[in-house]
Amino acid sequence: MESLHTKSALVTRTQGAGLEIVFLHGWGMNSGAFTSFIPYLSDNFTITTIDLPGFGENADHLPSPYTVETLANALVDVLPERCVLVGWSLGGLVAQKLALMAPEKLAGLITIASTPRFIAGPGWPGIAADLLKMFEAQLEKNYQKTLERFLAIQAMGSETAKQDIKAIREHVTQFPDPAEEALKKGLRILSTEDIRQEVGRIAVPTLRIYGRLDSLVPTSGIDNICELQPQADTVVLPHASHAPFISHPQQTADIIFSFVANVQRQKAS
């Protein structure tokens, strides 16, 4: 059974029992993105989902300035103690920052289709700057249309792309719309934030999950990320795109389950 909590003005949702796993969603989304995935884990774990400030049920909570650091700061107090933090896409950037800022709160860190720097640059594969500029321009005119295009790019390459988009859209639209400011500043984070020099200092056990068909976090950049954080484990799902927990939920759940079991074993030894 799901329960709703409000702490420090942020709303969190919790269900299941066992070790705490917390999920953070990506840009333009909310916790609804994880609705169909949670049942794969909630028999074995306590699952908490938190809408990033400015999104979903936390749309009215806008830190200023709106940066990865202020987002992480806003979330620290609502994280359960010694949880495994899972961040998807933009949420993965915030999760990495939290692992650096408050390692004592985390038992482990999992990023899904995420990176320490999203935008492409010299020697660094990523999202083309022109694409993000286009999204920024479109956002001024029509949020819903921009979101639809972003969803299409996220699912691109997946054999179940149409179903994936439909599933995410159905669940996400059951939550309040995001704040316009959060959408704009969230895109700005994707185009400017760079924590590559910091991720090597992440001390908590880390797992990075990627989709081989992901066009937003291309697999050609995985080696670069491994060099920056060689102690992290890496798994690439061969047939998945940017949302492997939607297209390949059982496979993704099994990978998370295995990682968490290892973290618990290490803790016990």
Angle at 63 between CA 58 and CA 66, to 5 degrees: 110
Please indicate whether residue 114 is annotated as part of the active site. Answer: no
- Catalytic one of 51, 214, 241, 248: 214
CA atoms within 13 A on the CB side of 58: 33
Please indicate whether residue 215 is annotated as part of the active site. Answer: no
**The two structure tokens encoding residue 131:** 């694409």
Q: Classify residue 264 by burial, with Cβ atoms within 10 Å: 0-12, 13-18, 19+.
A: middle
**CB of 76 closer than 8 Å to CB of 100:** no
**Rounded Cα distance, 45 and 60, in Å:** 29
- Catalytic one of 31, 42, 61, 89: 89
Amino acid at 68: V
Please indicate whether residue 158 is annotated as part of the active site. Answer: no
SS3 of residue 189 by DSSP: helix
- Catalytic one of 25, 61, 171, 242: 242
> Hey, which residues are catalytic here?
89, 214, 242
